[in-house]
Structure 1
Amino acid sequence: MIKKRKKTIFGKALIVLSCGLLANSFAIAQSPKSLTLDNCYQLAESNYPLVKQYALIDKTKDYSITNASKGYLPQINIGGQASYQSDVTKIPISLPNIDIPTMSKDQYKLYGEVSQPITDLFTTVKYQKELINTNTVVEQQKIEVELYKLKERINQLFFGILLIDAQIDQTEILKKDIRSGIDKNSVAIANGIALKSSADVLKAELLKADQRTIELKDTRKGYTDMLSLFINQSIDEYTALEKPFTAPLATEINRPELKLFDLQKKTFDVQSKLIDNKTLPRFSLFVQGGYGRPGLNMLNNDFDLYYIGGVRLTWNISSFYTQKQEKQLLNLNQNALDVQKETFLFNTNLTLKQQNSEITKLEELIQTDNDIIRLRENVKLSAQNQLQYGTATTNDYLTYINAEDQAKQNQILHEIQLLMAQYNFKTTAGN
């Protein structure tokens, strides 16, 4: 009975162990996700809340265009008037046996009028629609400018993660060197030419390297959590970030801000047309019908229906008073916009020069890093052999491998900084 029970327990344990191995094999078989810098740019832009503003701008444009199009429709007015006047028109003659009616001093009028603008059909409505379309494009471009600024933040996070990944890999190389030292030291201990306590120094250093890995992975998680929020994608320790290629540097500036300046300038052109349009005479067709006392027959003192139609001309001459000043204000705004554009180009070129200097400095540092690493590696290998024969202490060996590790860490830092500086240069130039 006891033997049968043991078999049952052993069978259940075997099933659990098999399931665990199967799940682990399945997890390993899954290819890790990967992200490129361009993927992050696109995902961040599509996920950023400001993107929703595009739909609102389109809706606003549709409503504004619809309202402006109403200018093509006939204008309908309804009016009324009741008045009393001190005197009325009289015929200054009297004829025998003829009663000449006298108009009442109280008069009443209720009327409706339909008018069809003619001048506005070809000028005002057209320019209003043009201004609405131009302003819509300007607002959309403002969003493009704000979204473009995301690239700088994505660059910081993306290259920050790449740097941490490279530091983790370098720490693994350091651990490998420490383990190799432990193996060499074990031979020396076995041969009686090194103390057993010397191995503890290397083992303690290995534990310190493990702590560094833990800290780096924790820092990486903080970076990936922030990047995950920007791109709305889950990023874990298995997500691989692809190291971008060296970016070609083009000094031509193609920033979205420049397009925004050009679009804003177009709005000034349309506004200038609307200012000129206000000084034009207005022609319209109209039909008016009403009921009142008197009607069109001034000699009839009874309430009567009437209608009248024709062509109407109105010309607001006072619009000439302000036309010149409005044009001058428009020119001042255009000049202010030109100053803003010039300032933007100046600051951008200044930033590009600073970034280019940083790139040149990092390229020179990397060349020096290669020489330093080669020399440090030679010293380490020599100390590694000396450790085996007891002619070098563990402290000496640790000094040499830490020096080599620091040189490699510097090279990693400079390489990632160079890539980031190149892509920051691209982002600043807008290429």
Structure 2
Amino acid sequence: MIKHCLRMMGLLLAIGVQAQDNRLTLDQAYDLARQNYPFIKQKDLVRRTADLTIENLNKGFFPQFTVSGQATYQSDVTRIPITIPGIKLDVPGKDQYKVQAELNQLLFDGGNITAQKNVQTANELVEDQRAEVELYKVKDRINQLYLGILLVDEQVKQVDYVKGDIQLGIKRVEAQVKNGTAFRSSQLTLEAELMKNDQRIIELKANRKGLVDVLSLFVNKQLPVDIQLAQPVIPATLVQEPVARPELKLYNYQSELFKVQNGLISAKNRPRTSMFIQGGYGRPALNLLNNNFDWFYIAGLRFNWALGNLYTTKKERELLQVNQRMVDVQKELFMLNTNTQLKQQQAEVDKLSQLIQSDQQIIGIRAQVKEAANAQLTNGVITVNDFLKEVNAEDQAKQSLITHQLQLLMAQINARTIAGNQ
């Protein structure tokens, strides 16, 4: 009994997992495409590059150790032109040798290292957001594929509905042929139309498979041919939502980058101080009058102020201001284009909403005409071709409704995508 229960639980779990794998929502498609899109790898590379650069900058306050050596020959040396009785002053050799090591500890760099770290952090945000902008563009492609599959699904349902009408007509004509009140050719005409309907289903399913295969490439997952796509639910507040596109964050991060770059310019113009100690071995050492090899060392503080950067500081700041104005212009242009696209999508939504209302009225009329034709075909009042004409007219009206409904959904989703809220 327990084994039977466990087996049933396992079967139900397997069915649940299979059902979940056979269903996909638009948000799931977005997430899978984002996770598997090659550009996502650039975000990790940008982050890793910034981390490594900042780690190296932090080492700027580590003690710096250098070793150097030299061997020289000079044309003359320092001499003392005085003769002191009883004292012999050695003349330094013209060949001199020195090996020394220096330990330097930076004490104050004017905030240069901190400014460089700020620049790296700000630049990381900019590059990371550039990747976000590219990743957001994938949503537009997913929208087209996803809604394309939904459109095909609705078209297949409509073709099946028409197929039912034709099959019903065949049954009625068959009875008339048996009773001798209709020609066999009428039945054959309906059967040929039924075969055309089957061909249409084959074409639609082939189109659906192509769309599913492309969607599988984007989500990096082989989706089953019969994958069921959930219809997106669009909130009522469609176009009224504020624009939240990743490009806006990119413009803000670029402005912050210019600010920290301006701080780096200031830091480069400040003086630096450091502590150092030198030690070495050579001839002569610190005592130039001693011509023998000897050890030596020097310790002290070093002050350095590079004033050459002052020549270019003004122009560098002006260049940052020009770049900032360029970003402001790009942001203004982006908002203009985005608001224009939103207005166009809103107009499209309004138009399609009106068309759908008209489609529903037309379908109501066509359905009544078809039912009348159905009754007339049963009574032998009209021909099969007349009946098919009304069936196809209703089909065309329903196909228009399906197309307009999916176009409305696409316009609504596009509006949310354009605004950055999808």
TM-score between both structures, scaled by the size of structure 1: 0.89
SS of structure 1 residue aligned to 2:291: coil
Work out whether residues 68 and 129 of structure 1, in 8 Å CA contact, stay in contact via their aligned partners in 2: yes
In structure 2, relative to structure 1, the CA distance for the partners of 1:241 and 1:299 (3 Å cut) is: same
Match of 1:195 in 2: 183
Task: Provide structure 2 residue ranges, at least 5 long, that are not aligned to the other structure.
Answer: 1-13
Match for residue 263 of structure 2 among 262, 273, 277:
273
Match of 2:71 in 1: 82
| Farther off after superposition, 126-135 or 65-74 | 126-135
How far did 1:143 drift? 1.5
SS of structure 2 residue aligned to 1:305: strand
The separation in 2 between residues aligned to 1:250 and 1:358, in whole angstroms, is 12
The separation in 2 between residues aligned to 1:68 and 1:183, in whole angstroms, is 85
Match of 1:348 in 2: 338
Match for residue 419 of structure 1 among 391, 402, 409:
409
Pairing 1:380-395 to 2, within 5 Å after superposition: 380-395=370-385
CA shift digits 1:163-199 (9 cap, x unpaired) = 0000000001001111122223234434443223211
Match for residue 34 of structure 2 among 15, 26, 45:
45
Give 1:265's aligned amino acid: S
Match of 2:306 in 1: 316
SS of structure 2 residue aligned to 1:194: coil
Match for residue 178 of structure 1 among 157, 166, 171:
166
In structure 2, relative to structure 1, the CA distance for the partners of 1:310 and 1:175 (3 Å cut) is: same
SS of structure 1 residue aligned to 2:298: strand
Match of 1:5 in 2: none
Work out whether residues 65 and 132 of structure 1, in 8 Å CA contact, stay in contact via their aligned partners in 2: yes
CA shift digits 1:150-170 (9 cap, x unpaired) = 100000000000000000000
| Farther off after superposition, 248-257 or 50-59 | 50-59
How far did 1:31 drift? 4.2
1:132 has 2:110 as partner: no
Work out whether residues 69 and 100 of structure 2, in 8 Å CA contact, stay in contact via their aligned partners in 1: yes
Pairing 1:30-69 to 2, within 5 Å after superposition: 31=19, 33-69=22-58
The separation in 2 between residues aligned to 1:90 and 1:230, in whole angstroms, is 83
How far did 1:144 drift? 1.2
Give 2:239's aligned amino acid: A
The separation in 1 between residues aligned to 2:338 and 2:122, in whole angstroms, is 26
Match of 1:260 in 2: 250
The separation in 2 between residues aligned to 1:425 and 1:303, in whole angstroms, is 83
How far did 1:58 drift? 3.0
Work out whether residues 363 and 398 of structure 2, in 8 Å CA contact, stay in contact via their aligned partners in 1: yes
Task: Provide structure 1 residue ranges, at least 5 long, that are not aligned to the other structure.
Answer: 1-25
The separation in 1 between residues aligned to 2:390 and 2:264, in whole angstroms, is 78
Match of 1:101 in 2: 90
Match of 1:234 in 2: 222
How far did 1:86 drift? 4.3
Match of 1:141 in 2: 129
SS of structure 1 residue aligned to 2:270: coil
The separation in 2 between residues aligned to 1:123 and 1:283, in whole angstroms, is 12
The separation in 1 between residues aligned to 2:54 and 2:124, in whole angstroms, is 11
How far did 1:257 drift? 1.1
Work out whether residues 239 and 342 of structure 2, in 8 Å CA contact, stay in contact via their aligned partners in 1: no
1:250 has 2:239 as partner: yes
Match for residue 80 of structure 2 among 91, 110, 132:
91
The separation in 1 between residues aligned to 2:99 and 2:149, in whole angstroms, is 79
| Farther off after superposition, 180-189 or 328-337 | 180-189
In structure 2, relative to structure 1, the CA distance for the partners of 1:289 and 1:429 (3 Å cut) is: same
Give 1:267's aligned amino acid: L
CA shift digits 1:101-148 (9 cap, x unpaired) = 33334433221111111113x612222222222222222212211111
| Farther off after superposition, 42-51 or 278-287 | 42-51
The separation in 2 between residues aligned to 1:74 and 1:236, in whole angstroms, is 62
| Farther off after superposition, 56-65 or 264-273 | 56-65
Work out whether residues 187 and 388 of structure 1, in 8 Å CA contact, stay in contact via their aligned partners in 2: no
Work out whether residues 103 and 299 of structure 1, in 8 Å CA contact, stay in contact via their aligned partners in 2: yes
How far did 1:300 drift? 2.1
Match for residue 318 of structure 2 among 320, 323, 328:
328
1:166 has 2:154 as partner: yes
| Farther off after superposition, 134-143 or 397-406 | 134-143
SS of structure 1 residue aligned to 2:299: strand
Match of 2:195 in 1: 207
Give 2:161's aligned amino acid: I
Match of 1:14 in 2: none
In structure 2, relative to structure 1, the CA distance for the partners of 1:386 and 1:218 (3 Å cut) is: same
SS of structure 2 residue aligned to 1:89: coil
Give 2:93's aligned amino acid: S
The separation in 2 between residues aligned to 1:244 and 1:31, in whole angstroms, is 19
| Farther off after superposition, 375-384 or 273-282 | 273-282
Give 2:90's aligned amino acid: P
SS of structure 2 residue aligned to 1:366: helix
CA shift digits 1:61-82 (9 cap, x unpaired) = 3321221122011112222333
The separation in 2 between residues aligned to 1:372 and 1:361, in whole angstroms, is 17
How far did 1:240 drift? 0.9
Match of 1:11 in 2: none
The separation in 2 between residues aligned to 1:420 and 1:184, in whole angstroms, is 41
The separation in 2 between residues aligned to 1:374 and 1:236, in whole angstroms, is 37
How far did 1:228 drift? 1.2
Match for residue 329 of structure 2 among 339, 348, 353:
339
1:402 has 2:392 as partner: yes
The separation in 1 between residues aligned to 2:252 and 2:25, in whole angstroms, is 33
1:357 has 2:343 as partner: no
| Farther off after superposition, 176-185 or 156-165 | 176-185
RMSD: 2.0
SS of structure 2 residue aligned to 1:118: strand
Aligned-residue identity in percent = 50
Work out whether residues 175 and 206 of structure 1, in 8 Å CA contact, stay in contact via their aligned partners in 2: yes
How far did 1:265 drift? 1.8
Work out whether residues 288 and 309 of structure 1, in 8 Å CA contact, stay in contact via their aligned partners in 2: yes
